[in-house]
Amino acid sequence: MKNHKKEEENYDSLFYIIGLLAGMFTGAVIEKGFTWVVVGGVMGLLTAAFFLNVLVKGSEKA
């Protein structure tokens, strides 16, 4: 069984979860209402997507 390739683990979901939780926490700290927790979560997801697609994927090409 030496011909089996070791598959790389995919950590994309980890980046999204961390971004979501950090954004929601930031929105909760603002203390302007529940709406800002949701807005913070969306902003966290967008930041995680940017980080993952631009910075992490770009470093694989180098």
pLDDT tens per residue, range 3-60: 666 666 777 888 899 999 999 999 999 888 889 899 999 999 999 999 888 887 766 6
Q: Which residue has the tokens 């603002």?
A: 30
Q: What's the confidence (pLDDT) of residue 30?
A: 85
Alpha-carbon gap, residue 9 to 52, rounded angstroms: 15
Q: How many CB atoms lie within 10 A of CB 12?
A: 13
Q: What's the confidence (pLDDT) of residue 32?
A: 82
List C-alpha distances in Å: 61 to 17, 26, 29, 44. 25, 33, 38, 25
Q: What's the confidence (pLDDT) of residue 59?
A: 66
Q: Indicate if the pLDDT at residue 1 is higher than 60.
A: no
Q: Indicate if the pLDDT at residue 62 is higher than 60.
A: no
Pull the structure tokens for residue 49.
């997507």
Estimate to the nearest angstrom the gap between the alpha carbon of 13 and the chain centroid. 7
